[in-house]
Structure 1
Amino acid sequence: MADQQARLSWRDGSIPVSDQFDDPYFSIHDGLAETEHVFLGGNDLSNRFTAAAEAGADFHIAELGFGTGLNLLAAWRAWETAQAEHDTAAVLHFTSFEAFPMATDDMARALQAFPEVAPWAERFLAVWGGAGVCDLGNLRVTVLTGDARVSLPEWTGKADAWFLDGFSPAKNPELWQDDLLEEVARHTAAGGTAATYTAAGFVRRGLEAAGFDVTRKPGFGRKRHMTKAILR
């Protein structure tokens, strides 16, 4: 999979759809609510962010599929909310693996659909260069471009929580293969978690084989189920 920029079409003028994968970047019903339900809720980040704030400890999220950056902004908002009552310099580290990075102007257009995170979007987009490392003080973002099957095995970090947010397994099977899920497990801290919107059987089995305890949870919107995983 070559490292190149995302090619987009727009549904209803506001929902970006990947031309590479023929799949929308977020729920047509409410992408922010889906992010909060699946990725923040699925990783129990509200409680874990509060615990990190109380301890003055950093937290590391890793993600397959950066897309519009919506997951990042939702997590950053939650992190700052948890930090608000504590005098701490703790940092949220966010590492994402993205084969087809979206142009900054397209990200800005897509994020206009979510005024709830507009203050965070403005701060992020003002300094975002399209890839690489971005330091916003209490948030440090690293987006590694290219095929995650190559870049993830080479990564030296470990995440406390994973957002598994590749396009649909039916349309983007490369991001759901057993060997990549094994790398996710290998790059997860002790007691770390992963969450994804999909409950496809082969994905759950791949996570289990990689070393996670896997639970099927109620999904968002029309999706009956999602998946939550905790590293054994």
Structure 2
Amino acid sequence: MPYSRAFDDHFYCRSDGRLECGHVFLSGNDLPRRWQRREPFRIAELGFGTGLNLCETWRQWRETAPEGASLHFTSFERFPMARADIDRALFYWPEIERERATLTEKWPDAPEGRVEIELEPRMRLTVVCGAALDSLSEEKIPYDAWYLDGFAPSRNPDMWSAELMAEVFRLTAPGGRFGTYAAAGFVRRNLAAAGFTVERRPGFAGKREMLCGEKPAA
């Protein structure tokens, strides 16, 4: 179970992080339904961590996306992990063996700056290394879906600040969505203040609530 000493928190839930990804981030963003289109679909994530969300999303996209579709997955990560640590963390799930092997083969020895990886035809990964607020302020093109997966708000409140949620809203396409395991009151209020319509849903593995929502289309 990967653990961050910097934030005194685990990288994902202790029961099954892969299933949590499906429940919180894919279902919260109404995926795979929303990527049933020919034009490129863009997902952004706060906190790349072990790459588990990427690998599970990639697995489901490969199984369900229409022929000729493309996916660009962008993640903002302040402390990128080493290849060996990613490999060890993801080895637990045979369901994503193919994705794990490709990711770790192409992962740089010393990730920094803007890491661009062509994982396979029409499947691209970008990892932007650095503080999230600084990195997002440099972005211009909006995303169709957001995975808000920073460490727990009580351990890493900067990742859930009003300023950062406003940047997430700015970088969300009209009708775009977000999903997050976090349900703290200040997180919900910051998302709503940014402009999102916020919905509470049952959380994963006995967690009482999670949040998801949408940027109004007009």
**Shorter chain as normaliser: what TM range?**
over 0.9
Q: State the distance in 2 between where 1:198 and 1:87 align.
A: 34
Q: Which residue of 2 aligns with 1:87?
A: 67
Q: Which residue of 2 aligns with 1:113?
A: 92
Q: Which residue of 2 aligns with 1:37?
A: 23
Q: State the distance in 2 between where 1:67 and 1:127 align.
A: 16
1:47-58 to structure 2, matched below 5 A, reads 47-49=33-35, 51-52=36-37, 56-58=38-40
How big is the shift at 1:144?
0.5
Q: Which residue of 1 aligns with 2:211?
A: 227
1:6-25 to structure 2, matched below 5 A, reads 15-25=1-11
* Poorly superposed stretches of 4+, deviation over 4 Å: none
1:51-200 to structure 2, matched below 5 A, reads 51-52=36-37, 56-83=38-65, 86-88=66-68, 90-129=69-108, 130=111, 132-136=115-119, 137-200=121-184
Q: State the distance in 1 between where 2:150 and 2:58 align.
A: 20
Q: RMSD in angstroms over aligned alpha carbons?
A: 1.0
Q: State the distance in 1 between where 2:141 and 2:175 align.
A: 15
Q: State the distance in 1 between where 2:14 and 2:152 align.
A: 14
**Amino acid of the structure 2 residue aligned with 1:87:** E
Q: Which residue of 2 aligns with 1:46?
A: 32
Alignment TM-score, normalising by the size of structure 1? 0.89
Q: Secondary structure at the match of 1:94?
A: strand
Task: After superposition, give the CA deviation of every residue in 1:102-127 in whole Å (9 maximum; x if it has no partner).
Answer: 11100000001111111111122211
After TM superposition, the structure 1 stretch with the greater mean CA deviation from structure 2, 136-145 or 185-194, is 136-145
Q: Secondary structure at the match of 1:144?
A: strand
Q: State the distance in 2 between where 1:97 and 1:165 align.
A: 10
Q: State the distance in 2 between where 1:41 and 1:193 align.
A: 11
How big is the shift at 1:87?
3.2
**Amino acid of the structure 1 residue aligned with 2:67:** D
Segments of structure 2 that go 5 or more residues without pairing to the other structure are none
Q: Secondary structure at the match of 1:126?
A: helix
**How many residues are aligned here?**
211
Q: Which residue of 2 aligns with 1:4?
A: none
After TM superposition, the structure 1 stretch with the greater mean CA deviation from structure 2, 114-123 or 126-135, is 126-135
